[in-house]
Structure formats: structure tokens, C-alpha cells
Amino acid sequence: MEARNMLRFLVLSIVVALVLLVTWVHFPSLTNKETLDCNLYSGWCTSKNRFHSFTKPNLIKKPPLSTHHKHESDVPHHPLDPLTIQELNKVRTILSTHPLFKSSSSYTLNSIVLEEPDKNLVLKWKKGDTPLPRIASIVAIVKGVSHTLTIDLTTSQVTSHETPSISGYPQMTIEDMVGVLNVPLKSIEFNHTITKRGVNIADLSCLPISSGWYGTTLEENRRLIKVQCYSKKDTVNFYMKPIEGLTVIVDMDRKEVVAISDNGQNIPVANGIDTDYRYSIQKLNGELNLVNPISIEQPKGPSFTIDGHVVKWANWEFHLKADPRAGTIISQAKVRDPDTLKMRNVMYKGFTSELFVPYMDPTDAWYFKTYMDAGEYGLGLQAMPLDPLNDCPRNAYYMDGVFASADGTPYVQPNMICVFERYAGDIAWRHAECPITGMKVTEVRPKVTLVVRMAAAVANYDYITDWEFQTDGLIRATVGLSGILMVKGTTYENMNQVTNQDNIYGTLLSENIIGVIHDHFITYYLDMDVDGSDNSFVKVNIKKQETSPGESPRKSYLKAVKNVAKTEKEAQIRLKLYDPSEFHVVNPSKKTRVGNPVGYKLVPGPTAASLLDPEDAPQKRAAFTNNQIWVTPYNKSEQLAGGLFVYQSRGDDTLQVWSNRDRPIENKDIVLWYTLGFHHIPCQEDYPIMPTVSSSFDLKPVNFFERNPILRVPPNFKDDLPVCKAHDSA
């Protein structure tokens, strides 16, 4: 009898184990964490298909939290797809036998990316057509000299191109940045200074800081970088413990100390108390449970599909890829016309072209901090893996970046970009008829959008860049700033000690810590192809018009005056609150049924303008921020607002230089440029880590559609959505 019971127990155990195994296989993405998220810790959700969001019947329709994709076998399917691991390995093999590299062990491959095919070829290409030639574009430094090359990956032919007669060096590699951090430790003087400050060498954290260009003999014919250090003792937030005034100038190629400046020996290293921002540390002091966990349920799964690098959602289709310099590139954005059902071109290519971040402290240890984050550091290279459920919601799809290291070896930047649908309770359109009409009409449509997100952590600052697509045809580009302030050490512990507030160049945030005033400028490249490539830029001035005597009881009104820009200089625009305008990109050859040219308009959000002297060296290099809006004729070689070689550049290859040629832009293939800006005067709420602050601009249809393009979108109905039972309240 005992043996029979034992046998029954074994059989039952095996059955239970098999059930658990089958459940695990069929619900591989259902983790304990996600179960908690679905239960919302307090209630639970049901729907017509309760477990649908946890199954993976189709990886395109319902992507997992992490792609975990093996990229070794990737092949390109679209002319704009980035170089694959196989292609990068082929480039590396070909270069290893090329005379330029074979004869020298002293070289770095600063950039290996796809040389995009000519625009006219890409526009003609359709899925199923013969693949266009795959060409790799290489930027390298060999024995201190910059080179640009291309490799035809079909023929293996290498073409060496003349390096333009422009100043500057290519974007730094990760190896460049990491390789200089230990160089100061070779200096006896540096080590002595650190010890004298009471800092343990083991507690050092150092940063490679681009040095700009100031026309000194020291800068001639070599790549210099400045290294400044911090103490990480007792906190992960070492940025709050600067070793103030100590700057080491390093030759990046020779890996040797050029000079050391130390003007802060009397400034103490801050104690770093209460600066650790990690949850594991903060919860020791008690959690702030301000809101219950929140999630969007999608019973039928996400509405978007991603096939390789082509994203399709609602009425939108576009190509998406990661780039080591720009971060995220959106190409061939098209929207479906609700009347003709045809896909219509809106934007051929859009990306963050350059960032300019000047700090407003002219002293020795700070004047050179005028970063060009894309061209010097690379937004894509600095992009960190996104954190599922916090950076992006549960139903997000994650895309990796595949880049090349300094010797050409490919590597994967995992979960670099996420794509997700967003619903924040916003309204797409609505109207409720008032009672006096006698008609009971209430029509409302929810606004659901598609977001493409990347977060680049460029040392202390985190830049969150979103491209948001709306069903009404609008594209919104948003930049969020978070992370940690770059702070300055000081002897001051309270503002009552400060006799001349102007000389602290910022705000006293805590004892011995000053947040230095600075700016952020982000310049976007927007190759608009509104219903075709030949477009015009129209400035629509909103003017006050006075009425004639006896014409009306009104004395004034507003009217719109349209001016088509014929040349580049006519499209150099600085925004003015009391001289308002709209900024349209129109296709003069395509008209609506009633005769308006189809178009899109740029709608600026809150922004700022650079106030630096135009002759100041940093502003010369960042002359692309001299205006908020520029328009240039399309030129494949003019896509990087700060120039091809930004590092230690002198401002001789910028958007300002190109635009000053004053080329014709009417009814041409044109590029719209927009600079979004922030003035940042730090405050105590930014300490020790910043709540996100953001700004944006819109690309909005203007007479592009015949009518509201989302009239036929249905509202939400009760049966479409999960039923969520909230916790019973007291």
C-alpha cells in the first residue's frame, strides 16, 4: 500500500513538472516581475484574452522586453540598413591588407558606417528590387593624419578620398576616451597633488573632456584632451566631489601628459553626503510611494510591426536605424492619405545633427568646457541600454546598434532604441454640442501615438531623444535633459559668505558645490520631401493691419503675409515673439482640391538662443546656433551642422559657412534645420540628480490633407479594453 502511494506521488509529481514545463515554454516572457506589474500590486486586470500580452505568437507583433537577437547572421534588406557584423568584418579584413594600414600599427578607425546610396536611387527602390550596392564609409587617423575612404563591399575596391582642407579631427573613439584616463597617473606631479588634497588614488574617477580650440601653439598639429578628476569615496555620484582646479592636458595619440594646471588647492573636496541617487540607497531612508504602478494594457498586442529596420504603424511607415554619431536616424517617413489610401512622402531623413553645450565660467578650469557632443563623443556611442519598464513601457520593442570599435571589430550596443505606443489620456479630437442647440452629440477620439526613443549618457548628462508620430500626420521631436549637473568645487558653504555673487558663475547647491550656468543647443537635420523632393520654404508673417477710417468698429486685425525664400540667406531666421511667423515647407507643384500648395510647417516649442559673442572661439565652432532656422539645398556632404571633423575644429566647415553661399532654394530639394535650445541656471532641485526637463518642436501638416485625416478613426468601446478592478477604498 505504501509503495502504491509512493508510485502515485511520483506520477503526480511528473505530471505537475510537465505542466510547469509546458507553461514555461508557452509563456516565456511571463516573469514574476511582469506578473506583479499586471496585478498592479493592488488590483488585477482581465480582458477577453487575459494572457494574450504574455504570449509570443509573432515576434514582430509582440516583441519581447529584450531582443536577445544574434546579429552574426544579419543581412541587409533595405538600401539604408546599417552595416551588418558580416560587412564590418569584411571591411576590417580588407583594410588589414591595404597599404595605408598595413604599413602602420599606429591608426584608429574612428568611424565605419554605411555610405548611403544616392537619394534618387533610394527613392526609386522598391522591396523586391535588386539590392543597391553596399558601400562602407571609413574615417581613420593614421600616424596623426585624418583619412576618409570608401569600400565597395561587392568588389572589395577601396577608394581613398582627399581629406578636405578643413580643420579639426574626427570623432573620438571609445578607446580614445578610455585610453587617456590613466595617463595622469604617470605623472609624479599629478600623484603628489592628489595625495596633498587628501584623496586616495584608489578613489579617483576621471573624465576625458574635449578641449575645444583657442588658437594656441599648444593645439597645433596634435589631438589634445583635458582630464579632470573626482573622488568616488562614499558615493557612486562622484560628480558631486570634484577635485576643483586640477586639469591635466594629455596628448591623445602619444598618451603623455603635456601640462598640468592646479588652481584649486585651497578648495576642499565636498563630502558627498546624501548624493547617492540609487534606489537601493534611497529606500533605506524610506520610500516615497507617491503613485501606484501604472501600465498600458494592449489586449490585442501592439499595433506596430517592425520588419528589419522598417517600422509600420497606423498610417505611418519609416526606416529606423542606430548611428554611432547621430544616435537615431529616421528615414523615408511616409503617411497614408485617408482618401486615396496612397503613401505620401513627408521627410526623407531626420536626425540630431549636433549638440553644443557651453559652460559660462571663464576661469582656467572651466573656459574650455564647450562640448560638441555628437561630433566629439558620438551620441550613438554614448547610448546606454534602455531599462525596460522604466525607460520604456512594457510593450516596447528594442533595437540594438551594431558599431565598430577602433580596430574595426564589430560590437553590439544592446537595447539602444525602443519603439512603443503611448496613450496618456490625451484627446485626438472632440466636440460636444451645447444644450441650446437641442442636439445630443458628443464625439471624442483618444490620442495614441508611436514613440521612438534613445537615451545617450554623455558622461554626467543624459539626453533622452524622442521621435513621436501621430495619426493626424504630425511628427514631434522632443529632447529631455536629465542626469547629473557638472558642478564646481568652492570654499563657500552658505550664500551669506558670498560677497560678489557674479563671481561664482552659477548657484550654490550645497556645501562646497556650485552648479555652473550653461546652455544646451540641439540642431536637427530635416530633409523634408513633402509629396516629392522639389519644395519651397515659405515664411508666413503674421502682421498687424489697421483698418481705414469708417471701415469697421475695429481698429486693427491680423493678416498672414506669405514670402517665399529664394536663397539661403532669406531663410536664416531668428525667432521673435513680437514678430511672429509660421514656417512652411510646401510643394508648389502639388495642390489641394481648392488650390492650396500641400505642405508641412515647423512649429517651435519653448527654446533659447545663444548669447555668446559671434567672435568667441566656441561660438565660431558652433555657428550653426546663430539662427534657430536655416534652409539649404540638399547636398549629400552637408549633413553635419558642426562639420565633418568637429574635434578641435575652427568653425570653417559649419552650417553657417554653407548657408552664407546664399544658393537658390526655391522649388528645390531642400533641407530644413532647426535648433532647439535651453538656458540652464541650476537650482537646488537639480541636486544631486536632475528631474527631466524637456522641450520639443513639431512638423505639422498644413494643407497636406483635404480634411481632418483621422475623421474615420473609431472611438474606444468598453469591450475593446481590459476591465481593471481597483482596490476597494476605505
Hey, which residues are catalytic here?
373, 461
Q: Rounded CA gap, 167 and 165, in Å?
A: 7
Q: Rounded CA gap, 657 and 650, in Å?
A: 12
- Give, for 415, the enclosing helix (H) or strand (E): strand 410-422
| Phi then psi dihedrals of residue 4, to 5 deg | -65, -40
Q: Per residue in 76-112, is it b (16+ CB within 10 Å) or e — as a string?
A: bebbbbbbbbbbbbbbbebbeeeebbeeeeebbbbbb
CA dist list (Å): 685 to 483, 540, 690, 692: 12, 40, 7, 11
CA dist list (Å): 487 to 51, 234, 264: 49, 18, 14
Q: Rounded CA gap, 657 and 568, in Å?
A: 11
Q: Rounded CA gap, 393 and 37, in Å?
A: 11
CA dist list (Å): 643 to 273, 380, 426, 721: 43, 17, 40, 50
* DSSP-derived secondary structure letter, 373: I
CA dist list (Å): 292 to 42, 295, 421: 8, 10, 21
Calculate the CA 265 to chain-centre distance: 38
Contacts of 656 (CB under 8 A, 6+ apart): 623, 624, 626
Amino acid at 370: T
* DSSP-derived secondary structure letter, 474: -
C-beta separation of 526 from 347 below 8 A: yes
CA angle (137 as vertex; 131, 142 as ends), nearest 5:
155
Q: Name the β-bridge partners of 320.
A: 330
Q: Name the β-bridge partners of 346.
A: none
Give the side-chain half-sphere CA count within 13 A for 150.
13
Amino acid at 36: L
C-beta separation of 654 from 642 below 8 A: yes
- Give, for 6, the enclosing helix (H) or strand (E): helix 2-26
Task: Give me 476's grid cell.
Answer: 514631434
Q: Rounded CA gap, 130 and 67, in Å?
A: 29
Q: Per residue in 335-346, is it b (16+ CB within 10 Å) or e — as a string?
A: bbbbeeeeebbb
Q: Rounded CA gap, 47 and 26, in Å?
A: 19
